[in-house]
């Protein structure tokens, strides 16, 4: 499968008039609810400290988004003084859970990344559950939309591979095990990370992920995991489904990056939301009946 870019990309750009989102808006979480698409996006308003806050936008058609104007979620706890990065959204019942990277050290320092959890019902007020993987240098956590075999399930990344973990209560996680590795001599040889929270299909859990090569080019890939045993990888496409080609993917604050944190099912397609060059937000789609042709 390949993703098809929306002609009107990028769908969100930095906004000069709002300081907190004046420099970059990128890597966004996505969730659908009654036909609407909700986005929680990462926003940068200054380069000195590079502290990320989260903004909110909503759309009826998945392409045209209305922005809220103020950050809805920003660092305030002792475990995240340097930012809240790369959120993922998972709707369970009437609650949206947010997994994100809590930055206890400066951005780009290469350490102090922890997986934190929060929730909201309205994108106005948020409940925080704190750091849920406390002893791990970790990021890219994506929570499944339902329990499997009576347990909550999450993918996360300890360099350079993707792991699975299980929980009874969403805050304590165990059973960590590598489920998808980097591939030698491939576009995803240096590191891989779960992208969007897995989507349920008849054939398995569909996961969009990012892979990085030795030249730091970020591309998107796709994999399918067993419905009853999500630790079991059923299929993984050899070729990427999207790679930096367009100007807004090649040039920005970090060049050559497409980075996915959210995808939703809408009508007959999957809408995949991704950050372009750590600067803007774009969307690409695939028809549902073509999405599993790699299996
Ligand atoms: C990764 C993450 C992403 C970012 C990407 C490219 O390590 O930090 O947030 O988009 O690098 O800079």
**What pLDDT, in 10s, does the model give residues 64-87?**
999 999 999 999 999 999 999 999
85 lines ligand 1 (CB under 6 A): yes
Backbone angles phi, psi at 196, to 5 degrees: -80, 150
Ligand 1 mutation target, pool 25, 26, 27, 108, most atoms within 8 A of CB: 27
CA-218 nearest atom, ligand 1: 6
* DSSP-assigned states of every residue in 98-161: EEEEEESS-TTSS--EEEEEEEESSSSSEEEEEESSTTS--EEEEE-SS-BTTBEEEEEEETTE
CA atoms within 13 A on the CB side of 98: 33
Q: In the block, which residue shows the tokens 């165990």?
A: 174
DSSP conformational letter for 20: G
pLDDT at residue 220 in the model: 98
pLDDT at residue 273 in the model: 98
For the domain covering 4-291, report its CATH number: 2.115.10.20
pLDDT at residue 110 in the model: 86
Spatial separation of the C-alpha atoms in residues 253 and 108, rounded to whole Å: 13
CA of 54 to the centre of ligand 1 (A): 15
pLDDT at residue 262 in the model: 98
The domain spans of the chain are 4-291
DSSP conformational letter for 238: S
86 lines ligand 1 (CB under 6 A): yes
Residues of the chain with pLDDT under 70: none
274 lines ligand 1 (CB under 6 A): no
The angle subtended at Cα 43 by Cα 8 and Cα 60, nearest 5°, is 45
Backbone angles phi, psi at 266, to 5 degrees: -145, 125
Percentage above 90 pLDDT, the chain: 98
Spatial separation of the C-alpha atoms in residues 242 and 228, rounded to whole Å: 28
CA-259 nearest atom, ligand 1: 10
pLDDT at residue 213 in the model: 98
CA-254 nearest atom, ligand 1: 12
């Amino acid at each position: 499968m390949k993703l098809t870019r929306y002609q009107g990309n990028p769908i969100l750009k930095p906004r000069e008039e709002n300081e907190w989102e004046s420099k970059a808006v990128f890597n966004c979480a996505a969730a659908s609810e009654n036909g609407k698409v909700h986005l929680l996006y990462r926003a940068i308003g200054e380069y000195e400290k590079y502290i990320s806050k989260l903004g909110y936008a909503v759309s009826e058609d998945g392409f045209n988004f209305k922005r809220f104007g103020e950050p809805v979620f920003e660092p305030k706890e002792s475990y995240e003084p340097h930012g809240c990065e790369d959120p993922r959204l998972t709707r369970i019942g009437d609650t949206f859970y947010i997994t994100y990277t809590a930055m206890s050290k400066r951005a780009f320092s290469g350490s102090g990344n922890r997986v934190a959890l929060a929730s909201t019902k309205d994108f106005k007020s948020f409940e925080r559950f704190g750091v849920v993987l406390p002893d791990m240098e970790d990021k890219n956590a994506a929570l499944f939309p339902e329990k499997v075999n009576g347990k909550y399930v999450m993918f996360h990344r300890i360099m350079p591979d993707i792991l699975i973990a299980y929980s009874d209560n969403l805050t304590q996680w165990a059973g960590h095990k590598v489920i998808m590795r980097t591939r030698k001599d491939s576009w995803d040889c240096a590191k891989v990370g779960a992208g969007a929270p897995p989507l349920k299909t008849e054939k398995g859990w569909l996961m969009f992920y990012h892979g990085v090569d030795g030249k730091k080019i970020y591309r998107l890939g796709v994999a399918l995991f067993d419905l009853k045993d999500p630790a079991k990888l059923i299929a993984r496409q050899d070729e990427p489904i999207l790679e930096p080609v367009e100007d807004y993917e090649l040039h920005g604050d970090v060049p050559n990056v497409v980075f996915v944190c959210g995808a939703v099912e809408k009508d007959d397609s999957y809408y995949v939301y991704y950050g372009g060059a750590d600067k803007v937000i774009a969307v690409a789609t695939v028809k549902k009946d073509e999405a599993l042709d790699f299996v």
